[in-house]
Amino acid sequence: MLSPSRRVAVLVSGGGTNLQAILDARGSVIRHAEIVLVVSNKPGAYALERAARAGIPALTLSAKELGGMEAFEHALQRALEEYRIDLIVLAGFLTILSEDFTRRWDHRILNIHPSLIPAFCGRDYYGLRVHEAALARGVKLTGATVHFVNEIPDGGEILLQKAVEVLPGDSPETLQRRVMEQAEWILLPRAIEMVAVEGITQEERSNQ
């Protein structure tokens, strides 16, 4: 019998190295989740190319083109329903979702953030800015965090964290790369599998 699996949508805005890590973990770390949809809010994002190469349906939904965040979330919700999505994964998705949306998907949205929350997180911290701030503060350890998404930017329940050393001479770019390699690309597939298995177990319990 095939093992049950959760249907996952991955939301992206850029290069999609975290998306790639998720795709590469299928069949090894990820055994109870299927990536069935990729959504980019940036037309032309390289992550779309990665989705196409993996044969996964991908959509571009741009708030700018749709006339605002409300219309964007409406279109997103419709796509998620159409693809019968169980779990949303924000993998370098650099837009803040509304309280309405995050409530509707309570404990069903995961995000990866490139620092040890609560350091260097919240509305103003994303992408390279996080690593610039860590270097400016002179921390010796940074890392990555996977957490559930709620109405507070980077404020939801923490699932996994991994520390990464800051080395003398690091630039924001070298630090970003180390945090990705040593933490993000490992944690995100692991968190997806954890949440998928937990969801399936809960469903089985409630069916008994």
Residue with Cβ nearer ligand GAR (161 or 200): 161
Residue 60 in 3-state DSSP?
strand
> Does residue number 91 form part of the binding site for ligand GAR (CB under 6 A)?
yes
157 DSSP 8-state letter: P
> Does residue number 143 form part of the binding site for ligand GAR (CB under 6 A)?
no
Residue 130 in tokens: 């996080």
Q: Which of residues 40-59 bind ligand GAR (CB under 6 A)?
A: 47
Residue ranges of E strands in 29-114: 33-40, 58-60, 87-90, 109-113
Residue with Cβ nearer ligand GAR (81 or 157): 157
List the one residue from 9, 10, 11, 18 that touches ligand GAR (CB under 6 A): 18
Residue nearest to ligand GAR (CB): 92
Residue with Cβ nearer ligand GAR (124 or 204): 124
Dihedral through CA 98, CA 100, CA 103, CA 107, nearest 10? -40
Given the residues 32, 107, 113, 131, the one annotated as active site: 113
Residue with Cβ nearer ligand GAR (100 or 124): 124
Rounded to 10 deg, the angle between the 46-53 and 17-24 helix axes is 20
Residue 170 in tokens: 């690091």
Stretch that binds ligand GAR, among 33-41, 77-85, 88-96, 101-109 (CB under 6 A): 88-96
Q: Are strands 109-113 and 141-148 parallel, antiparallel or unpaired?
A: antiparallel
Q: Is 107 among the catalytic positions?
A: no
Residue 8 in tokens: 């996952």
Active site positions, annotated: 113
Catalog residues that contact ligand GAR under the rule CB under 6 A: 12, 14-18, 47, 91-92, 94, 112-114, 126-127, 130, 180, 184
